[in-house]
Amino acid sequence: MRVPSIVLLCLLGSACGDVGEEAVQSCGPTETAEALAYADQVAHLIRGEELRAVVAELASDDYEGRAPGTAGDVMAREWIEARLAEANIAPGADQGYQQPFELVSVTTELPAAWPFSTGASIAPGAEFVANVGNQTSRASLADAELVFVGYGIQAPEYEWDDYKSQDMSGKVLVMLNNDPEWDRGLFAGERRLYYGRWTYKYEIAARLGAAGAIIIHTTPSAGYPWQVVETSWTGPQYEIPAEGEPRLEVAAWITESAARALLNSAGHELDALVRAARSRDFAPVPLGISTSLELEAGLERVETANVLGVLPGCDENLKNEAVVVTAHHDHLGKGVAASEGEDVIYNGAFDNATGVAAVLSLAKALAGLPSPPRRSIVFALVGAEEQGLLGSAYYARHPTFHAGRIAANVNLDGVSIWGEASDMIFIGLGKSSLDQVAADVASYVGRTLQGDQFPDQGYYYRSDQFSFAKVGVPGVYLDGGVEIIGKPEGWGRMRINAYITRDYHQPSDELTDDWVFDGM
């Protein structure tokens, strides 16, 4: 197998820094040239058939989609733990391999329709999804006023405030997805910032005292079709237990077509509101619409865990520092069949059994060499990523190495299944001190270094490296590349877009015979 870029990044990340004059010859590489030869040894120990076997196991129906706290989740964690132990990777948590953490499971029952004062109503699933946002069994809106707040952003560093100091207490805020992207001088232009993430929008709405928030979905602004929102927001939603922070009563999404109809019922045009929102001078627009809504939810406390292994470093000066390699082991679980024989298991083969397979193979290969890298390597198979990066956030707050001693986080979330590429993608390029390491890796393996190829979709904020970045750890989300060797130009992008449109967060995300595992 070609030298995997993940191996090089881990080894360069673990080799960098002063190693001291007393380092012994049997220890791992000290220079980048040595790291290349070292990584070549690792590459010969990683086999495509082993990667496929891991994906086949974890993405099988036996695991029922690996939702947090379910029997399938327990099975997956135990299976991963056994593989780490077989590879002679030491337990990485305080008591064994698993770092348990508690979640609140919230299952919201949607009404037959959501009514508004204008006589308009929207249908559950097809036109809106909503969740009880306050971690209680009931949420209530009582004649709450709807206000359009543009992008719903307060960003003083960009001189942008969609709220203009107006009182949002008790209101339902209707807002656009994404952030201002039409001018490179505003925010980051096409590249989405955290301000464009739905999580930020709910957070700021809650901080301002709003009772609810409704985000208008469009496929371009979200980066995925409505079906992804519908499936992701249906069934149990998992959250870290609340600790007194502001929370919404109701958090919701609405389709673009339903939003247009609702706004039209009060004499507003969505396109005109969008045009108004594309200015620093925008101020909130009361819509002349109010709503009352009662939502009930089932609550359950569940436990899941991060599965952690550690390969101790060999250098006395550096072994107390670590490179943390992450991949999330969870997925969306099992839905409810609408008809007999319907496939309702969200197997999550690409997302993210492939990432788990890559981390386990890397762990086994590194443990099989005569000497480990100089810094320690933590292999962190984290839980509850699909619910908002919860497992990695828990690890970042309760790290097994102090955050100041974590040299880097390398995250894998969907390893290339398309074949070898002439490029390599570092999502997070330009955001940390890992840029030079990234350039070195690309140079050594003879591949073109590229940043995020879909910058408008905000991938940097959608996977586990972001949890590390928030506590000051340099993090990168590694992707295999889009320019596939032997295929026509654009073929890789076409395959990725087809996956997002057809299979992302759908039961159809399953292992197939045409997957190729040499694209790491």
- The pLDDT of residue 12 is 64
Say if residue 263 is in the same domain as residue 293: yes
SS (H, E, C) 102-171: EEEEEEEECCCCEECCCCCEECECCCEEEEECCCCCEEEEEEEEEEECCCCCEEHHHCEECCCCCCCCCC
- The pLDDT of residue 17 is 46
Q: Is the pLDDT of residue 3 over 60?
A: no
Q: Is the pLDDT of residue 34 over 50?
A: yes
Residue that is written with structure tokens 């590349």 in the block: 481
Residue that is written with structure tokens 């502001």 in the block: 246
- The pLDDT of residue 455 is 76
**CA distance linking residue 26 with residue 362, whole number of Å:** 20
- Integer CA distances (angstroms), 5 to 9, 55, 464, in order: 6, 20, 19
Does residue 481 form part of some domain?
yes
Structural contact between residues 306 and 394, judged by C-beta atoms closer than 8 angstroms: yes
Residue 479: band (very low, low, confident or very high) from pLDDT cuts 50, 70, 90: confident
**CA distance linking residue 147 with residue 161, whole number of Å:** 15
Helix (H) or strand (E) holding 90: strand 90-91
Does residue 121 form part of some domain?
yes
- The pLDDT of residue 11 is 66
- The residue-averaged pLDDT of 425-443 equals 85
Of 398 and 25, the one with more pLDDT: 398
Structural contact between residues 331 and 65, judged by C-beta atoms closer than 8 angstroms: yes
- The residue-averaged pLDDT of 200-222 equals 97
Helix (H) or strand (E) holding 390: helix 390-397
Helix (H) or strand (E) holding 476: strand 475-479
Final residue in a domain of this structure, among 299, 326, 360: 299
Residue 520: band (very low, low, confident or very high) from pLDDT cuts 50, 70, 90: low
Say if residue 164 is in the same domain as residue 82: no
Say if residue 11 is in the same domain as residue 150: no
- CATH of residue 73: 3.40.630.10
Does residue 383 form part of some domain?
yes
- Integer CA distances (angstroms), 302 to 74, 236, 271, 472, in order: 11, 11, 43, 29
pLDDT in tens, 344-357: 999 999 999 999 99
- The pLDDT of residue 20 is 42
Q: What is the mean pLDDT of the chain?
A: 91
SS (H, E, C) 456-474: HHCHHHCCCHHHHHCCCCC
Structure tokens that stand for 29 in this block: 């590489």
- The residue-averaged pLDDT of 377-388 equals 96
**CA distance linking residue 109 with residue 293, whole number of Å:** 12
The answer to which of 26-30, 91-95, 205-209, 472-476 has the lowest mean pLDDT is: 26-30
Go through 239-253 and write b for each residue having 16 or more CB atoms within 10 A of its CB, e for each that does not. Answer: bbeeeeeebbbbbbb
How many of the other CB atoms lie within 10 Å of CB of 41? 15
pLDDT in tens, 63-100: 999 999 999 999 999 999 999 999 999 999 999 999 99
Say if residue 322 is in the same domain as residue 423: yes
Q: Is the pLDDT of residue 23 over 50?
A: no
How many of the other CB atoms lie within 10 Å of CB of 272? 11
- The pLDDT of residue 276 is 97
pLDDT in tens, 443-464: 888 889 988 888 778 888 889 9
CA atoms within 13 A on the CB side of 358: 31
Does residue 20 form part of some domain?
no
Which burial class, exposed, middle or buried, applies to 402 when counting CB atoms under 10 A from its CB (0-12, 13-18, 19+)? exposed
Query: Which structural domain, as residue segments, surrounds residue 453?
Result: 5-15+25-101+303-502
How many of the other CB atoms lie within 10 Å of CB of 294? 11
Say if residue 285 is in the same domain as residue 312: no
Structural contact between residues 83 and 362, judged by C-beta atoms closer than 8 angstroms: no
Say if residue 410 is in the same domain as residue 444: yes
pTM attached to this predicted model: 0.88
Say if residue 46 is in the same domain as residue 172: no
Q: Is the pLDDT of residue 395 over 90?
A: yes
Q: Which residues contact 259 (CB under 8 A, 6 or more apart)?
A: 174, 214, 216, 270
- The pLDDT of residue 44 is 80
**CA distance linking residue 30 with residue 207, whole number of Å:** 48
Q: Is the pLDDT of residue 409 over 80?
A: yes
Does residue 184 form part of some domain?
yes
**CA distance linking residue 350 with residue 230, whole number of Å:** 20
Say if residue 74 is in the same domain as residue 218: no
Q: Which residues contact 127 (CB under 8 A, 6 or more apart)?
A: 254, 255, 257, 258
Structural contact between residues 148 and 176, judged by C-beta atoms closer than 8 angstroms: no
Does residue 508 form part of some domain?
no
The answer to which of 37-46, 76-85, 260-269, 485-494 has the lowest mean pLDDT is: 37-46
- The tally of domains found in the chain comes to 2
End-to-end CA distance of the chain: 9
20: left (phi over 0), alpha (psi -120 to 50) or beta: left
pLDDT in tens, 46-59: 888 999 999 999 99
- How many degrees, rounded to 5, is the angle at CA 73 between CA 410 and CA 414? 35
Say if residue 328 is in the same domain as residue 193: no
Say if residue 204 is in the same domain as residue 280: yes
- CATH of residue 289: 3.50.30.30
Q: Which of 32, 37, 38 is nearest to 441 (CA)?
A: 32
How many of the other CB atoms lie within 10 Å of CB of 322? 30
How many of the other CB atoms lie within 10 Å of CB of 333? 23
**CA distance linking residue 7 with residue 24, whole number of Å:** 22
Does residue 287 form part of some domain?
yes
Q: Which of 279, 259, 267, 179 is nearest to 222 (CA)?
A: 179
Final residue in a domain of this structure, among 299, 315, 342: 299
Residue 410: band (very low, low, confident or very high) from pLDDT cuts 50, 70, 90: very high
Q: Is the pLDDT of residue 188 over 80?
A: no
Final residue in a domain of this structure, among 280, 299, 318: 299
Beta bridge partners of 239: 104
Q: Is the pLDDT of residue 223 over 60?
A: yes
Structural contact between residues 80 and 360, judged by C-beta atoms closer than 8 angstroms: yes
- The pLDDT of residue 192 is 77
**CA distance linking residue 312 with residue 90, whole number of Å:** 8
Say if residue 254 is in the same domain as residue 396: no
**CA distance linking residue 520 with residue 513, whole number of Å:** 18
Say if residue 274 is in the same domain as residue 398: no
- The pLDDT of residue 293 is 98
Does residue 434 form part of some domain?
yes
- How many degrees, rounded to 5, is the angle at CA 37 between CA 31 and CA 40? 135
Q: Is the pLDDT of residue 25 over 70?
A: no
